[in-house]
Structures are given as structure tokens and as C-alpha cells.
Amino acid sequence: MARLVIVSNRVPPLRESGAAAGGLTVALQEAVKRRELLWFGWSGESSDSKEPRMSSAGNTTHALLDLTTAEHRLYYSGFCNGMLWPLLHYRFGLAQFRRTEEEAWRAVNRRFAEALIPLLREDDTIWIHDFHLFPLAAILRELGAKQRIGFFLHVPFPPPAVFAALPRAEALLKDLAAIDLIGVQTDEDARHLAEAMQQQGVDTPVGVFPVGIHAEGFARIAEAAVGRKDGIRFQESLSGRRLIFGVDRLDYSKGLPQRLAGYADLLKRFPQHRGKVTFLQVAPISRGEVSHYRMLRRELDEMVGRINGEFAEVDWVPLRWTTRPVQRRTLAGFLRITRVALVTPLRDGMNLVAKEFVAAQPPEDPGVLILSRFAGAAHELEGAVKVNPNDPDEIAEALDLALTMPLAERKARWRQDFDRLVEAGPSGWSRAFLADLNRAEFAAPG
């Protein structure tokens, strides 16, 4: 099989550390086991060094570039996280456009392309990931790359009229003509993107490839975690109370203030649950250098204080809150003993936490998933209780429903979703994308 070249902004460590939080690397790690692989991307470090650092383990080679401090600020914090991320999540009001940042973004994509070209073999398949690297394929072609190039967008693509608010959106869309196949998470994203490209005369094929997880593998990790020392300690700390659980990067796309407000509404409107539940929200800090993220953190810290101040008893803390990441194994254990998972993003490309929760459940007594209808995962997980994440009252009602749901209904809802995840298989996503890329008509020049 020909070598696969993955290009993504961030690259997971060659040897797994277990603590990383981020859907893209979680999804990809599962996908590329057992294949000869070159993984190219940013090292996560800042320096003035221009050469990629190479390292290998097994059949995987990493080529990692440092960014300069200025590139990090302008390209990553500025254009990617300050402009494209909010725009693609339908939050144009939070976006800030600066031409210097857009230029730095293009320049970093060019630097990636120039460093990658000498590493390429003629029969490589190139797979580029996410919005950081929209222009990369076009630059690679300009520099003579003739390989097949696929691109996967992990986040949503908004309606063309929203996207058009981006200055120079046309140039970005025209760059996509250099790609042989674009993958997105949902039909809706595919429709939006195809329409936006069409307006620029670009007809690159777009396919829907929902990112999956290794459900049976995750179930095994989750089951084992409950019996470990820290798992037992955590369970004991609940004193028999039912666990409501959420875990998300601390990001405004995840709907955290609305979620906490929904929990407070539950305690207010359905006081029979007071003292009988504990809500643990894990929200590892993410993109702390971007001001909207710092503001969100302050807002949430305050809300947590207010909710606990209002409802706590001397022997009961209703809301546990941490902004520190937890080990993957620990997280799997939390998910297993969760009675109700709250996954309520305002917009999410897919949301892997929703799938991990389903995978982690004990078949004889499964919990209930409360899922935003604006997460890509909502198109697949039909057994979930769907909510509009903008409405705290609806979240409160869904919590009450989930906490009182009879076992037979919980089992039926869970079974259908679990079977679906298992059927999709651990590498179904990448296999389907790469098979279609292999069949795609070639855009390579000459």
C-alpha cells in the first residue's frame, strides 16, 4: 500500500501520553494504525528554526516545524482561532479580521508546503486536515505536487451567506479547486460548502464521512478504569448520588454557560433532585491566549460559584468544576459511571465525547445522553435526548426526563446507538474517505 502523508496543524506525540484533549488527534490516531505514514505539522513550539524535525517510531515518521512567535500569534491565535473558528461555528460576532493575520496564515501555509515538497514520494497519498490548512493544497500544486490530495474539515461549514462575511472568502474557496476530494461531517456541511464553492465556479467533490471512534476498545478501557484505585475513590466520593457529567475543551462553541444555567434550572424547578445528583464538568483550558476564551473562563468560574452558593448543603456540593485535563483512562471511567451525559454544544462538527459516552456505558444499566441537535453526532445518535442548547429550561426538562427514565427505555435507546457505533468500526471513517479519494478524479496538473 502506498504511503499516507497526513498534514495537520497539531500532531499527537509519537508515543501516547494519554492526556491530550482534542478531537482531531483522537480521531486520526485511531485511523492510521498499521499503515506507513508521514505525519507533517506544527511541533507546538515557537522558535526561528526553519527546518522540520524528523523522528520515527515503527511505521510512522513525524516531520514537525516550529513556528516563530509572530507566526504563532498571527496565524494560529489570530486568523485560525480568532477568525476562522468563530466564523465556521456560526459566531461571526466573535470573529475579528485583520489582514496581517490572514497574510501570515497564507505565509505559514506556504512554509508548510515548501518544507513538505522535498519529503514527498511520487505515489504518496496526501490527506490534509482542517481549516488551518485550507490553502495548502493549492500551494502544493503550484510547487508541482502531482499526488492525490484529500482534505477533511472537522468543524462545521456555515451557510454561504454567513461564510461570505469573511473578507477575501472568494480566494479561499478558489484554493479548494486544487483538492481531489473534500470530506465533511454532515449532509448540511456538505450542502453549504458545495454551494459556497459553486458561487466561485469551483466543483471539487464533497463527501460526507462522519468521524467515528473505536467503540469496543473504548468500552474495554472504561470498564477496566472503574475498578482502578482512583476510579473507586471517585465513585466513593459520590456517596451513591447519580452522576451528571460533561467534558469539553473550554470553548464558547461548547455551550457551557447555557449548560450550567440548565443545571441550575433543574435544581430550581425540580427540587426533588437536590442532594440526589452531582454534576461534574471537566473543561480543560484551551486557547487561553485568545481574549474570548479568557472572558468565558471568568464567566464560568463565577457561575459555578453562584450555583454552588445558591444550592449547596453542608454535606452536598451540587457542581464540581475543573479546568485541568484528566487522563484518557480516568475520563473513560467517569463516562462509564455517568447516569446522564450533558453534551450540549451550540455548534460542533461531530463531537466525539457523545460517542465515547455511548461506548462506555454498562449494557445492563446504561445512562442517558442529552445531546445538542447542533452537534454533527446528533445526525447519527438517534437514541439520545435531543435539546436546543440555547434554552436552559429545555436542558433542565431533559435532565429531569433522563434522571427518571425507566431502565427498559434507557436500554433500548442505548442499544441502537451502540450497535451503530460498532458497525461503523474503528477505522470506517478513514477507510471510506481514503477509498473515495483513491477513486476521485484527479485534479493534478500535467
Phi-psi region of 270 (alpha: psi -120 to 50; beta: other; left: phi over 0): beta
- Tell me the one-letter amino acid at 57: A
Looking at beta carbons only, is 146 or 297 nearer to ligand GDG? 297
Q: How far apart are CA 101 and CA 300, in angstroms?
A: 29
Q: Distance between alpha carbon 384 and the CA centroid of its chain, in Å?
A: 19
Q: How far is the CB of 240 from ligand GDG (least distance, A)?
A: 25
Q: Are strands 340-343 and 368-372 parallel, antiparallel or unpaired?
A: parallel
Which residues are identified as catalytic? 154, 348
Count other Cβ atoms within 10 Å, centred on residue 100.
Answer: 11
Q: How far apart are CA 372 and CA 385, in angstroms?
A: 8
Binding positions for ligand GDG, 38-67, rule CB under 6 A: none
Q: Does 160 engage in binding with ligand GDG (CB under 6 A)?
A: no
For ligand GDG, which residue has the nearest CB? 23
Contact 353, 251 (CB under 8 A): no
Q: How far apart are CA 9 and CA 132, in angstroms?
A: 6
| Paired strand residues for 56 | 61
Binding positions for ligand GDG, 177-216, rule CB under 6 A: 211
Q: Are strands 277-282 and 319-322 parallel, antiparallel or unpaired?
A: parallel
Q: How far is the CB of 347 from ligand GDG (least distance, A)?
A: 9
The 331-350 site mask, x for binding ligand GDG (CB under 6 A), equals: x----------------xxx
Q: Does 326 engage in binding with ligand GDG (CB under 6 A)?
A: yes
End-to-end CA distance of the chain: 24
Looking at beta carbons only, is 279 or 311 nearer to ligand GDG? 279
Q: Does 155 engage in binding with ligand GDG (CB under 6 A)?
A: yes
Q: How far is the CB of 343 from ligand GDG (least distance, A)?
A: 8
Binding positions for ligand GDG, 9-28, rule CB under 6 A: 19, 21-24, 26-27
**C-alpha cell recorded at residue 243:** 452522576
Total residues contacting ligand GDG by CB under 6 A comes to 26
Q: Does 282 engage in binding with ligand GDG (CB under 6 A)?
A: yes
Looking at beta carbons only, is 12 or 135 nearer to ligand GDG? 12
Q: Does 328 engage in binding with ligand GDG (CB under 6 A)?
A: yes
Stretch that binds ligand GDG, among 31-39, 257-265, 271-279, 324-332 (CB under 6 A): 324-332
Strand (E) or helix (H) holding 319: strand 319-322
* Interface pick for ligand GDG out of 249, 273, 339, 413 (rule CB under 6 A): 249
Q: How far apart are CA 32 and CA 6, in angstroms?
A: 9
The 351-380 site mask, x for binding ligand GDG (CB under 6 A), equals: xxx--x------------------------
Contact 156, 131 (CB under 8 A): no
Looking at beta carbons only, is 52 or 376 nearer to ligand GDG? 376
Q: Does 104 engage in binding with ligand GDG (CB under 6 A)?
A: no
Looking at beta carbons only, is 137 or 280 nearer to ligand GDG? 280
Contact 124, 5 (CB under 8 A): yes
To the nearest 10 degrees (0 to 180), the angle between helices 352-360 and 328-336 is 60
- Residue ranges that bind ligand GDG, judged by CB under 6 A: 19, 21-24, 26-27, 154-155, 211, 247, 249, 282, 284, 325-328, 331, 348-353, 356
